[in-house]
């Protein structure tokens, strides 16, 4: 397995302000320096990075700068994370205009994975029909990713209509898209990440490891997640892809990356 790290720890997670009034511009952003994040991730011993779609878009007209940085640091662009509401038919074309742009750019930069999050929760609560539209939207998203040579996955997330285990089961039964389990979000949503990974191992092509305890997202080894069992499930399925460590924020991003790397190396025997 190969080890990568998300850049979102550097600056935390925000959204592009233009998205408030323009759906096509609604990107995720890590509100820090991508260059600093990449340097720190490489120095901590990881071989790849994942970016939010908005941070990737910042290099749309500076592609040589990005490629030079990645070559100098000997890093691989593992994946790009994007998202959408996915349930409101009137804005789907605008959302997919953004997704198509992100997929094209990710492909040009050599990314392997395109990860989708989303499934909005209405002000009046979730409607059963929302899952049907979400499933249809993810099929469309999957087709776009494949068109650009990317591996698509769905990432369950708190604050969406797919955060609880029964919600994930419902969506998975309605789609063919691969699952990118974020282990901490699964637990925070009331699920057991070991159970989820065992149940859907045949649909896992990419993994986000993040620890969790008492309502907090933590570096690996500082929470209660059973990563050894998760790793055993992956190994039993001959999984040889990327394990991507992700942490939404930390007072010392480099230290957090180092803590997780030491845990992966010393406890799980992943170099």
Instruction: Give the global pTM.
Output: 0.94
The answer to whether position 61 is within a domain reads yes
3 state DSSP class of 264: helix
- Per-residue pLDDT for 113 more than 90? yes
The answer to whether position 51 is within a domain reads yes
What is the CATH number for 95?
A: 3.20.20.150
How far is it, in rounded angstroms, from Cα 216 to Cα 60? 34
Over residues 70-105, the pLDDT tens digits come to 999 999 999 999 999 999 999 999 999 999 999 999
Q: Return the closest-CA partner of residue 176 out of 208, 225, 213, 141.
A: 141
Of 13 and 202, which is predicted with more confidence? 202
The answer to whether position 160 is within a domain reads yes
How far is it, in rounded angstroms, from Cα 178 to Cα 180? 7
What average pLDDT does this structure show over 200-205? 97
157 DSSP 8-state letter: -
Q: Structural domain tally of the chain?
A: 1
Name residue 204's beta-bridge partners. 179
The answer to whether position 96 is within a domain reads yes
Classify the C-alpha dihedral 233-239-240-245 as positive or negative.
negative
Q: Which pLDDT value is given to residue 237? A: 97
Full residue range of the structural domain in which residue 134 is found: 2-266
How far is it, in rounded angstroms, from Cα 214 to Cα 48? 29
- At 49, the pLDDT band (50, 70, 90 cuts) reads very high
What average pLDDT does this structure show over 176-188? 96
The answer to whether position 11 is within a domain reads yes
Q: Which pLDDT value is given to residue 20? A: 86
The answer to whether position 193 is within a domain reads yes
CB atoms within 10 A of CB 270: 16
- At 21, the pLDDT band (50, 70, 90 cuts) reads confident
The answer to whether position 271 is within a domain reads no
The answer to whether position 119 is within a domain reads yes
Over residues 219-232, the pLDDT tens digits come to 999 999 999 999 99
Q: What would the two tokens of residue 242 be?
A: 């990327």
- Are 29 and 15 within 8 A, CB to CB? yes
């Amino acid at each position: 397995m190969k080890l990568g790290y998300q850049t979102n720890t550097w600056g935390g997670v925000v959204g592009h302000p233009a998205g408030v009034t323009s759906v096509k511009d609604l990107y995720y952003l890590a509100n820090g320096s991508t260059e600093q994040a990449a340097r720190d991730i490489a120095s901590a011993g990881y071989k790849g990075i994942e970016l939010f779609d908005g941070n990737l878009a910042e290099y749309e007209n500076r592609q040589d700068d990005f490629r030079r940085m990645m070559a100098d640091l000997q890093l691989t662009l593992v994946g790009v994370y994007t998202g959408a509401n996915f349930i409101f038919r009137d804005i789907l074309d605008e959302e997919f205009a953004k997704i198509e742009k992100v997929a094209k750019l990710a492909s040009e930069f050599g990314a392997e994975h395109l990860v989708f999050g989303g499934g909005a929760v209405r002000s009046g609560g979730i409607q059963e029909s929302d899952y049907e539209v979400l499933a249809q939207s993810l099929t469309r998203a999957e087709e776009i990713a494949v068109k650009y040579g990317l591996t698509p996955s769905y990432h369950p997330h708190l604050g969406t209509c797919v955060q609880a285990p029964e919600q994930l089961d419902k969506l998975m039964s309605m789609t063919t898209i691969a699952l990118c389990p974020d282990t901490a979000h699964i637990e925070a949503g009331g699920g057991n990440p070991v159970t989820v990974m065992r149940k859907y191992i045949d649909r896992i092509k990419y993994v986000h490891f993040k620890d969790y305890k008492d309502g907090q997202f933590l570096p690996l080894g500082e929470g209660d997640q059973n990563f050894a069992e998760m790793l055993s499930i992956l190994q039993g399925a001959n999984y040889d892809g990327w394990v991507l460590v992700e942490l939404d924020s930390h007072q010392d991003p480099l230290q957090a990356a180092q803590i997780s790397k030491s845990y992966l190396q010393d406890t799980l025997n992943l170099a």
